[in-house]
Amino acid sequence: MRIGQVAEQAGVSVRALRYYEEQGLLAAERTAGGQRDYPPSAVDRVRFIQNLYAAGLSSRAVLRILPCMEHGVLTDEMHERLLAERARVETQAGRA
């Protein structure tokens, strides 16, 4: 899928996709002409990233959480990270 197709289907800007790529959150193959070519699963990944951002997580936290989506396994370490992130977000929400 081309970058514009992913952006449209996921409801984000092309600029956002480029940012995700810079942050290591999203990867694309390159065509012979240098254009990005994303797998169909990129749309779900972008939506998941958007949900994590909406929940108040940082790019760094999202990068640590994404492996559980890729592998479909929630390790004890990942569970602890998610609990810590939830506590951080709840603390921030309490200050608002």
> Dihedral (C-alpha) 38, 64, 50, 57: value to the nearest 10 degrees?
-160
For every one of its 96 residues, what pLDDT tens digit does the chain have, with 9 covering 90 and above? 999 999 999 999 999 999 999 999 999 999 999 999 999 999 999 998 998 888 888 888 888 888 776 666 677 877 787 788 788 878 877 765
Ordered by start, the domain boundaries in the chain are 3-95
- Which pTM was predicted? 0.78
CATH architecture of 3-95: Orthogonal Bundle (1.10)
Burial class (CB in 10 A: 0-12, 13-18, 19+), 16: middle
- Do 49 and 59 contact (CB within 8 A), yes or no? no
